[in-house]
Amino acid sequence: AGPAPMDSGRSPARKSTQRKRTGFVRKEDIELEKELQLKKKAEARAIAIPKSIDIMENISVSDLAKKMNIKPAELIAKLMALGVMATINQKIDAETATILASEYGCEVKIVSLYDETVIEKAADNPDDLWHRPPIVTVMGHVDHGKTKLLDAIRKTDVVSGEYGGITQHIGAYQVETPSGDRITFLDTPGHAAFTKMRARGSQVTDIVILVVSAVEGVMPQTKEAIDHAKAAGVPIIVAINKIDLPESNPDRVKTQLSELGLIPEEWGGTTQFCEISALQKKGIAELLDAILLQAEILELTASFNRMAEAKIIESRIDQGRGIVATIIVEKGTLRIGDSFVAGIFPGKVRAMFDDKGNRIEEATPSTPVEVLGFEGMPNAGDPFEVVEDEKFARAVSDKRQELKKYEEGKNVKKVTLDNLYETISAGEVQELKVIIKGDVQGSVEALKGMLEKLSTREVRLAVIRAAAGAISEDDVMMASASDAIIIGFNVRPSPAAKLLADREKVDIRKYNIIYRAQEDIQKAMEGMLSPELKEQDVGKAEVRNIFRVPKVGIVAGVYMLEGLVHRTSQVRVIRENIEIFQGKISSLKRFKDDVKEVVAGYECGIGIADCNDLKEGDILEIFETVEVARTLGKAQEDGSDKA
Ligand code: GDP
Ligand code: MG
């Protein structure tokens, strides 16, 4: 056969050259032509399939096909070959799409809502870069004096002092020191706000003030705060508070913090320590000086001469004024009448107020300001970006709202033990971050030591928190912000933490044997994690009565809180979020009858083999060991049943 008539749209010019040639048709010419055609075909295909595509968390097969310039049927066939059955309208997760596209030499970039709708901005003009005030967050253990300190600072502020010190709460405020320098304080003490902002990638804090009571010294939340600040790479200034009390012992605090890596300058370290009394307003001026010094080291600058970019700190609905949000300007100058996009909503600055409630016309970098004129309620941490005009603001918002709808309830790509190897190969992590929570400090330390030894040349294992106690919401927020996994050793997440973990898709792994944890992580790091046997939680029951039956042992009269229990299930006994026993169910009865299954909302009697410690109020976690084959879509299923 001669060369296939591939190209119906061939140009007349080419046709004529070919006709001329056909006068002396030679075999070589035909072969050459054939080769050329084949090459062209391959090239056309290579050009047709892009080298790289952008997708959000999930994508339908048809949309992916469109982006890749491939027939959907071809993709579906390829998916089948990979063990995934999908229809044209079905959505596949980003991971599957990545593997699929890689078969065609096409790289998949996972982008967020905001990446997809980036608002182009001009580069900063170096001449417009001026110093901006530092933005400070106060953190520390409960009752060590965060609120009192924020109050004391506000009242020391010379400017507001002249107005009688009446400040309204807008979530942030700015003070002016006697030297004329300004400092902005985020007035939302506590770690939740800090971590939440960071989880959304919107860290605005430049400096953390760590408040530690000189009486109590370092406490769990003190350590937590240090973890957060370190993970975010934000410098810490220590404020040793309550030095007015006779039992205060600042040196003890210094020793404790030195052990945690915060070494005072006077001891040869680099951390600034201030001794204060928030109550008596002592040492506040020195603390402010320390902040200014740190700010100078950080060389904080921003362009004042451009369209403003800011972050939402708080938002609420105010009767009579509509949606009101406090924002902190990061760049540029915000003015009345500016059109903006805040999160997924458009708006136009109708009015602005400073932290003292004064109406203002413009706001420069690091200034906290209350803004009116939003068309929808933005979330804390959302970007606030000024754009040229209303029309553009609306166009961007429309696009974001559309994307949001699409993204809603969808999988967020997080590092889990199951996808670790792929994420490492994709060059996305070189570091596996782990949070360890355990029932006793001893086992936590042991596990930490063991895991840290697992670091290899390719992957570093970093334990970013190791503490005794149940898995808290804060642990989950921290894991989400840092893309870490959580290991619970004989402990459970609190119900709120579990919910949060489900929502944030944080991988929580529970163990009661140290080397099992070590083994799993090692396998995951080596990319051979094949969880063929997996514990799957199927139900939860609360112990209401205890019966001791001769020869049988303990039978628990329980109420099924959720899920179900089978006669063949296994059970973990949980007391105050700590696992105290694990074993098999020996009997399952409703009234006097043996039954196979009891579901949520019913009472039943559960006999537990070999268990001799059970109390009213204990929680029984019912689980079954199931066999799970490792398939392409697995990482996704995993997230949901693990936490
Ligand atoms: P927060 O939980 O960290 O916000 O702590 P608060 O600011 O609410 O303070 C907790 C308690 O400690 C309150 O009763 C304060 O009055 C008290 N307190 C705060 N700072 C000092 C201080 O410098 N000296 C003394 N004696 N008490 C203080
Ligand atoms: Mg407080």
pLDDT digits (tens, 9 = 90+) for 363-398: 999 999 999 999 988 888 889 999 999 999 999 998
CA–CA distance, 461 with 476 (Å, rounded to integer) = 18
Q: Which residues of 451-478 are buried (b: 16+ CB within 10 A; e: fewer)?
A: beebeeeebebebbbbbbbbbbbbbbbb
Task: Give me the pLDDT at residue 207, please.
Answer: 95
CA–CA distance, 43 with 7 (Å, rounded to integer) = 14
pLDDT digits (tens, 9 = 90+) for 145-157: 998 898 888 876 5
Degrees to nearest 5, angle at CA 256 with 253 and 257:
85
Rounded to the nearest 5°, which phi and psi values hold at 261?
95, 0
Q: Which uninterrupted H or E stretch holds 346?
A: strand 345-353
CA–CA distance, 478 with 464 (Å, rounded to integer) = 9
Degrees to nearest 5, angle at CA 394 with 389 and 399:
135
CA–CA distance, 163 with 291 (Å, rounded to integer) = 24
Report the amino acid identity of residue 119.
I
Sign of the C-alpha dihedral computed for residues 540, 541, 542 and 547 taken in this order:
negative
Residue 198 alpha carbon to ligand 1 centre in Å: 27
Q: DSSP of 11-57, one letter per residue? A: -HHHHHHHHHHHTT--HHHHHHHHHHHHHHHHHHHHHHS-SEEEE-S
Report the amino acid identity of residue 604.
C
Question: What's the rounded mean pLDDT across residues 170-176?
Answer: 86
- 8 Å CB contact between 520 and 416: no
CA–CA distance, 72 with 638 (Å, rounded to integer) = 28
Residue 547 alpha carbon to ligand 2 centre in Å: 46
Ligand showing the shortest atom-to-Cα distance for residue 140? 1
Question: Sorting pLDDT into bands at 50, 70 and 90, what band is 287?
Answer: very high
Beta pairing partners, 329: 310
Q: What residues flank ligand 1, with Cβ below 6 Å?
A: 140, 142-148, 189, 241-242, 244-245, 277-279
Residues 6+ apart with CB under 8 A from 314: 170, 171, 188, 325, 326, 380
- 8 Å CB contact between 376 and 324: no
Which regions of 164-261 does DSSP assign to beta strands (E)? 172-176, 182-186, 207-213, 236-241
Question: What's the rounded mean pLDDT across residues 452-457?
Answer: 76
Ligand showing the shortest atom-to-Cα distance for residue 209? 1
pTM: 0.55
3-state helix, strand, coil in the chain (%, to 5): 35, 35, 35
Question: What's the rounded mean pLDDT across residues 608-624?
Answer: 90
Question: Sorting pLDDT into bands at 50, 70 and 90, what band is 277?
Answer: very high
Task: Give me the pLDDT at residue 274, please.
Answer: 97
Q: How large is the angle between the packed helices 284-298 and 146-156, nearest 10 degrees?
A: 90
CA–CA distance, 606 with 586 (Å, rounded to integer) = 7
> Which among 593, 604, 618, 597 has a CA at the least distance from the CA of 555?
604
pLDDT digits (tens, 9 = 90+) for 107-118: 888 776 676 677
Residue 232, token pair as written in the block: 């975010």
- Residue 278 CA: which ligand 1 atom is closest? 23
Residue 143 alpha carbon to ligand 1 centre in Å: 6
Task: Give me the pLDDT at residue 418, please.
Answer: 67
Ligand showing the shortest atom-to-Cα distance for residue 221? 1
Residue closest via CA to ligand 1's atom 18 equals 145
Ligand showing the shortest atom-to-Cα distance for residue 225? 1
Classify burial at 489, counting beta carbons within 10 Å of its beta carbon; exposed 0-12, middle 13-18, buried 19 or more: buried
- Probe target for ligand 1 pocket from 141, 143, 153, 221, with the most ligand atoms within 8 Å of CB: 143
Share of the chain above pLDDT 70, in %: 80
Q: How large is the angle between the packed helices 441-452 and 514-526, nearest 10 degrees?
A: 30
Residue closest via CA to ligand 1's atom 6 equals 145
Q: Which uninterrupted H or E stretch holds 462?
A: strand 460-468
Task: Give me the pLDDT at residue 123, please.
Answer: 80
- Residue 149 CA: which ligand 1 atom is closest? 7
Question: What's the rounded mean pLDDT across residues 465-474?
Answer: 87
Average confidence score pLDDT of the chain: 81
Residue 440 alpha carbon to ligand 2 centre in Å: 29
Give CA separation, 45 vs 51, 53, 97, 298, 339, in Å. Answer: 11, 16, 19, 51, 44
Residue 503 above 80 pLDDT? Answer: yes
Q: DSSP of 509-553, one letter per residue? A: EEESSHHHHHHHHHHHHHT-----EEEEEEEEEEEEEEEEETTTE
